[in-house]
């Protein structure tokens, strides 16, 4: 199925058979059958936001929002962050299964959660701290399809180095 396919795909097979010439008959024996498949358009969008500035020893608060932008439900496979690792324990149960996109803000087709990260000395020595969240979802098992529906989003925090000198 190619991208941009409609809501259904119908495939029809037609079989034609002719009797052998020795029968002297011009019969055309024909039969056909069709099958229609519902085409699903799974997709997910991940958005990550967080503090704009931080420094060594500060706690950065991140917010992750996951929205099912497709027309079928999705089941969580993995949810990871490049700094924090596995985020599945941070995510609410609402992230486990996302309903099909209903076109509205909020609801069962999206979930949102926050988590924090303490800036280490090594991270604070740099100019910025970028990390990426990645969500992988699957279609429900009843579809029998192995699609990996995923998205990522990154957030960059500017690292500041405040200092004061008293003389």
Q: What is the pLDDT of residues 34-64, one digit of tens each?
A: 998 888 889 999 999 999 999 999 999 999 9
Helix (H) or strand (E) holding 79: strand 74-81
User: In this structure, are residues 76 and 66 in contact, taking their beta carbons and an 8 Å threshold?
Assistant: no
User: In this structure, are residues 73 and 97 in contact, taking their beta carbons and an 8 Å threshold?
Assistant: yes
In this structure, the strands spanning 85-86 and 149-159 are unpaired
Q: Which residues contact 135 (CB under 8 A, 6 or more apart)?
A: 44, 46, 66, 76, 78, 79, 150, 151, 152
pTM check: above 0.85: no
- The pLDDT tens digits of the residues spanning 107-149 come to 999 999 999 999 999 999 999 999 999 999 999 998 888 889 9
């Amino acid at each position: 199925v190619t991208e941009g396919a409609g809501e259904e795909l119908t495939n029809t097979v037609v079989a034609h058979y002719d009797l052998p010439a020795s029968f002297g008959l011009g019969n055309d024996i024909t039969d056909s059958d069709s099958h229609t498949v519902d085409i699903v358009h799974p997709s997910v969008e991940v958005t990550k936001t967080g503090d704009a500035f931080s420094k060594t020893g500060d706690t950065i608060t991140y917010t992750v929002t996951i929205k099912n932008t497709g027309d079928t439900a999705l089941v969580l496979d993995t949810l990871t962050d490049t700094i924090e690792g596995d985020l599945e324990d941070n995510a609410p149960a609402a992230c486990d299964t996302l309903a099909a996109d209903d076109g509205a803000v909020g609801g069962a087709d999206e979930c949102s959660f926050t988590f924090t990260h303490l800036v280490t000395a090594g991270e604070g020595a740099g100019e910025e701290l970028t990390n990426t969240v990645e969500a992988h979802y699957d279609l429900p098992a009843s579809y029998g399809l192995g699609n990996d529906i995923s998205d990522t989003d990154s957030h960059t925090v500017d690292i500041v180095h405040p200092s004061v000198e008293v003389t």
